[in-house]
């Protein structure tokens, strides 16, 4: 793969601005594992890195300090390893001494990667870092980049630090997975030229994680690639799930339980239901775990239309985790062509609908642009009215409540061909609209919008009912 940055325009600009600044800058970069944080930082700052250190997973503080000693020795080009510092205060003093002796007109960048692993319990790392920043770096017009995959830890311990690093972060970057357009560009940079449908199939299974996408091979279909990545004996993602959460969270059992519980629900679950279904202990700890999972990009919280914070629902929106729990975990030993066989089943068709809904929810900006309302403030929600013995219920995938006195009610369908509405489907949509109006009492204009893969062929059932039709291609905009 050629070393070329795909997308990340806004994030690149933040890093460039920090380098061009006339003041000392401390930049916090966080985002889930394998999302490309280290690659981004090294690409932008490759000619300015005066020192870099990467934390070691599951290492003792003594091991981390020895690693620091080795990295500093290499930077100093010393034939003899420098003495391992006794603590992080001494380590950062040695680093400041080394940097001070560098005769360079270039602005210096210090890059500390996987800081949550460096700053273990009672390690003293954060105290040493605060001394380094307050006593040296802040007066030297330097850029210090602090990076970590445990987004919640980074926010709590670095961004919201109450000690010596309080209010020291000058810029922050939350690096998200690629969207569909960036995924297409990344694959094209590797001479893989899929159409939108093939890309969507891959995205719904493994998401927009660059490291995962790196395993996609030219000359194979989406189904073949998914099979080889996720089900083959040596597949890159066959056993990624058991490693994913422990690498991010010190005590990951509850995180994994919540993810597995949410994987069972299409509509999302309340905190109460998650605790009950997952057989989890009550208490504030679960709220903390939910917050950590959301900040790290694995789950998404949202309010059903017209509801309040206490009615918050949580939904598993990490593509790979959902795909692993639905298919890989149970079928990894089924032999060659596992996914080719599974992809024809009704279970996969049901999952595809849910995964396509998640895809749409992650591309709301593109959907608004396609509707011509990019500049209109709008809030997204779902709507669910439970049925009774006397009244029908309704489930609406996506509701866009706009400030221009319009509400879009979305029907999201994943088919590999152009579709047309049947009389029964049209009747069902009209019923949903009627239930929504009655339940919410809204006076806004209701606009039925469909999102399909290849579009809607209008007929007598859709005319006068469906006012907007978006396709998969619109989400690449």
Shared domain check, 307 and 336: no
Q: What are phi and psi of 171, to 5 degrees?
A: -145, 150
Residue 326 lies in a domain: no
Three-state SS annotation for 216-260: CCCCCCHHHHHHHHHCCCCCCCCCCHHHHCCCCCCCCHHHHHHHH
Residue 2 has pLDDT above 70, yes or no: no
Shared domain check, 166 and 23: yes
Interatomic CA distance for residues 244 and 35, integer angstroms: 12
Residue 364 lies in a domain: no
| Domain end position, chosen among 137, 154, 174 | 174
| Number of domain units in the chain | 4
Residue 227 lies in a domain: yes
Shared domain check, 211 and 346: yes
Mean pLDDT of 87-115: 93
Asked if residue 152 lies in contact with residue 8, where contact means CB atoms within 8 angstroms, the answer is: no
Mean pLDDT of 235-257: 92
The enclosing domain of 109 has a CATH number of 3.40.50.300
- Residue 466 forms beta bridges with which residues? 448
Model confidence pLDDT, tens digit, residues 172-191? 999 999 999 999 999 999 99
Residue 327 lies in a domain: no
Residue 3 lies in a domain: no
Q: What is the pLDDT of residue 309?
A: 75
Burial track 52-82 (b if 16+ CB lie within 10 A, e otherwise) = bbbbeeeeebeebbbbbbeebeebbeeeeee
3-class DSSP state of 156: helix
Residue 435 lies in a domain: yes
Shared domain check, 206 and 342: yes
Residue 284 lies in a domain: yes
CA angle 44-49-55, nearest 5°?
A: 100
What's the domain range around 410?
370-476
Q: What is the pLDDT of residue 24?
A: 94
The enclosing domain of 273 has a CATH number of 1.10.10.10
Shared domain check, 303 and 248: yes
Shared domain check, 317 and 412: no
Model confidence pLDDT, tens digit, residues 313-366? 999 999 999 999 999 999 988 887 999 999 999 999 999 999 999 999 999 999
- The residue with tokens 């959907």 is 367
Residue 2 lies in a domain: no
- Residue 316 forms beta bridges with which residues? 299
- Residue 354 forms beta bridges with which residues? none
Mean pLDDT of 119-138: 94
Spatial CA neighbour of 307 closest among 379, 236, 218: 379
Model confidence pLDDT, tens digit, residues 370-393? 999 999 999 999 898 888 877 788
- Residue 300 forms beta bridges with which residues? 315
Q: What is the pLDDT of residue 366?
A: 97
Shared domain check, 115 and 226: no
**Sheet of strand 25-30: strand arrangement:** 49-54, 109-113, 143-148, 25-30, 171-174
Q: Strand pairing of 313-316 and 378-385?
A: unpaired
Mean pLDDT of 431-439: 95
Shared domain check, 105 and 21: yes
Label residue 143 exposed, middle or buried (CB < 10 Å: 0-12, 13-18, 19+): buried
Model confidence pLDDT, tens digit, residues 387-407? 887 778 899 989 999 999 999
Shared domain check, 41 and 104: yes
Asked if residue 29 lies in contact with residue 10, where contact means CB atoms within 8 angstroms, the answer is: no
Average pLDDT, the chain: 93
Shared domain check, 336 and 190: yes
Shared domain check, 155 and 47: yes
Residue 1 has pLDDT above 90, yes or no: no
Shared domain check, 156 and 230: no
Going by pLDDT thresholds of 50, 70 and 90, the confidence category of residue 3 is: low
């Amino acid at each position: 793969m050629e070393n070329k940055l795909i997308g990340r325009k806004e994030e690149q600009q933040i890093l460039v601005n920090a380098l061009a600044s006339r003041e000392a800058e401390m930049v916090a970069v966080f985002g889930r594992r394998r999302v490309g944080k280290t690659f981004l930082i090294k690409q932008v700052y490759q000619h300015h890195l005066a020192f870099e250190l990467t934390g070691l997973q599951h290492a003792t503080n003594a091991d981390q300090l020895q690693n620091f000693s080795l990295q500093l020795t290499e930077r100093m080009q010393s034939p003899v390893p420098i003495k391992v510092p006794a603590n992080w205060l001494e380590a950062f003093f040695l680093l400041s001494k080394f940097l001070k002796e560098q005769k360079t007109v270039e602005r210096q960048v210090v890059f500390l990667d996987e800081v949550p692993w460096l700053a273990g319990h009672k390690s003293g790392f954060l105290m040493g870092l605060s001394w380094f920043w307050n006593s040296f770096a802040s007066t030297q017009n330097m850029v210090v980049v602090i990076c970590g995959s445990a987004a919640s830890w980074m926010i709590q311990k670095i961004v919201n630090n109450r000690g010596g690093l309080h209010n020291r972060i000058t810029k922050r970057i939350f690096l998200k997975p690629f969207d569909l357009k960036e995924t297409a560009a990344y694959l094209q940079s590797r001479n893989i030229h899929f159409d939108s449908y093939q890309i969507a199939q891959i995205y719904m299974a493994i998401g927009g994680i660059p490291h995962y996408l790196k395993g996609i091979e030219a000359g194979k279909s989406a189904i073949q690639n998914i099979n080889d990545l996720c089900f083959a004996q040596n597949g890159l993602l066959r056993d990624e799930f058991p490693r994913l959460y422990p690498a991010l969270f010190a005590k990951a059992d509850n995180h994994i339980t919540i993810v597995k519980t949410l994987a069972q629900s299409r509509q999302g679950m309340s905190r109460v239901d998650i605790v009950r279904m997952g057989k989890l202990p009550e208490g504030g700890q679960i709220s903390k775990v939910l917050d950590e999972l959301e900040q790290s990009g694995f789950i998404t919280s949202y309010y059903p239309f017209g509801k309040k914070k206490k009615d918050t629902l949580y939904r598993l929106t990490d593509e790979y985790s959902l795909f692993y729990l639905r298919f890989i975990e149970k079928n990894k030993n089924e032999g060659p062509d596992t996914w080719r066989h599974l992809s024809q089943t009704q279970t996969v068709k049901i999952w595809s609908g849910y995964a396509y809904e998640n895809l749409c929810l992650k591309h709301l900006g593109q959907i608004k642009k396609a509707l011509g309302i990019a500049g209109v403030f709008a809030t997204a929600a779902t709507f669910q009215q439970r049925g009774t013995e006397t009244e029908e219920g309704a489930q609406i995938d996506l509701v866009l409540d706009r400030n221009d006195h319009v509400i879009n009610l979305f029907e999201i369908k994943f088919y590999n061909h152009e579709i047309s509405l049947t009389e029964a489907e049209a009747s069902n949509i009209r019923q949903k609209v009627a239930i929504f109006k009655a339940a919410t009492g809204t006076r806004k204009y209701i606009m039925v919008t469909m999102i399909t893969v290849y579009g809607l062929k209008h007929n007598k059932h859709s005319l006068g009912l469906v006012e907007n039709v978006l396709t998969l291609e619109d989400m690449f905009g």
